[in-house]
Amino acid sequence: MSSIETGSRRSVTDSLSRSHPPKSLSYVTPGAGCTAVIVALVEGRGLAKGEIGMASFDLKRPEVILSQFSDSQTYTQVMMKLQVMQPIEVLMPSTACEAGNMTVLFKMISNMIKTANMVTVHRKYFNEAKGLSYIKELCLLEYRTVELEVSTKYYCLATAAALIKYVEYIQDAVYAPGFLKVTFQGSENTAMIDISTAENLELLSNAHNPASAQSLYGVLNHTKTPSGARLLRSNILQPSCDTETIHLRQECVKGQCTILMCHGISKRETVQSPCCENPHQQLSRIP
């Protein structure tokens, strides 16, 4: 990787501003560890208002995740996706916070996503043609099919352009061709849980002691990697609506309960049963 040209770096700097000073990471879900994810967001204007483009970049591994979806006036999907990703910075066009006039989405993210610093960049960097060019050039060969998925998705391509440009600037480097894993994640067949419901049900954190691991996520979290932790958060906050997936998970849970019961019997009565064999094989089947 080589350095960015001076002129290019200056143009990004001139159009970038932080809306507020860095925040503490003390609000990160207990046990999740510090993340290194940067997210770029853009919302459609006029008749396209509510159409959201999103791109995330994990600085700890060369991976870009793209999304585009229609959201409600309460931006439930945006907020849930940000809760899953736990970004350290959220990048938005400067038009979202011009002359101190913040858009509803900008203000909501600032108030509710406590782990993230808000960064604004000139709207011209949200360029869909440049985003598609970046994907064609930088995407790993085995993930090139993502081009077909996003080629007509203006907003997620625009966020990809701004995000990659910004990451190259802050790292003072450019990425080599075929270096990034780029994937597209839709919101089909998933349910959405709003933030207030997640808080009331203590899905991610304990309502009385935010530092405590006594929550649904804390109890279930035995993951070993940041990607695994994000997947668990995603399954809690965006549970699947697919009937086949739900039934398969129910069968896996039923199998695990049977295994636990059998092991309890075998300890007391030294009884061996076929249902007690190889619990790790049972776990590997959970989707």
CATH code at 101?
3.30.420.110
Tell me the one-letter amino acid at 211: A
Residues 256 and 170 in one domain: no
96: alpha, beta or left? (left if phi > 0; alpha if psi -120 to 50): alpha
Does residue 261 fall inside a structural domain? yes
Residues 177 and 266 in one domain: no
pLDDT: which is higher, 235 or 118: 118
- Contacts of residue 133, defined as CB under 8 A and 6 or more positions apart, other chains included, come to none
Identify the pLDDT of residue 9. Answer: 35
Average pLDDT of the chain is 78
- Contacts of residue 81, defined as CB under 8 A and 6 or more positions apart, other chains included, come to 54, 67, 238
> Quick check: 139 pLDDT over 60?
yes
Residues 10 and 104 in one domain: yes
> Quick check: 286 pLDDT over 90?
no
Residues 156 and 266 in one domain: no
Residues 168 and 80 in one domain: yes
The pLDDT of 251-255, averaged and rounded, is: 84
Residues 151 and 263 in one domain: no
Residue % of the chain over a pLDDT of 90: 30
pLDDT: which is higher, 271 or 136: 136
* Model confidence pLDDT, tens digit, residues 12-64: 434 444 443 333 333 344 444 557 899 999 998 888 888 899 999 998 888 99
Does residue 107 fall inside a structural domain? yes
Residues 142 and 263 in one domain: no
Question: Of 192, 217, 252, which one is at a domain's C-terminal end?
Answer: 192
Does residue 158 fall inside a structural domain? yes
Does residue 225 fall inside a structural domain? no
Identify the pLDDT of residue 160. Answer: 96
Residues 126 and 252 in one domain: no
The pLDDT of 226-252, averaged and rounded, is: 78
Does residue 108 fall inside a structural domain? yes
Does residue 173 fall inside a structural domain? yes
The pLDDT of 254-268, averaged and rounded, is: 72
Residues 52 and 118 in one domain: yes
Distance separating the N- and C-terminal Cα atoms of the chain: 37
- Could you list the residue range(s) of the whole structural domain that residue 121 is in? 6-192
* Model confidence pLDDT, tens digit, residues 67-120: 998 888 888 889 888 988 889 999 999 999 887 789 999 999 999 888 889 999
Does residue 155 fall inside a structural domain? yes
Residues 134 and 265 in one domain: no
Residues 129 and 252 in one domain: no
Residues 129 and 52 in one domain: yes
The pLDDT of 160-171, averaged and rounded, is: 94
* Model confidence pLDDT, tens digit, residues 191-224: 766 667 777 888 878 888 878 888 888 888 888 8
Identify the pLDDT of residue 132. Answer: 94
Number of compact structural domains in the chain: 2
How many angstroms separate the CA atoms of 219 and 239, rounded?
17
Does residue 203 fall inside a structural domain? no
Question: Of 192, 212, 234, which one is at a domain's C-terminal end?
Answer: 192
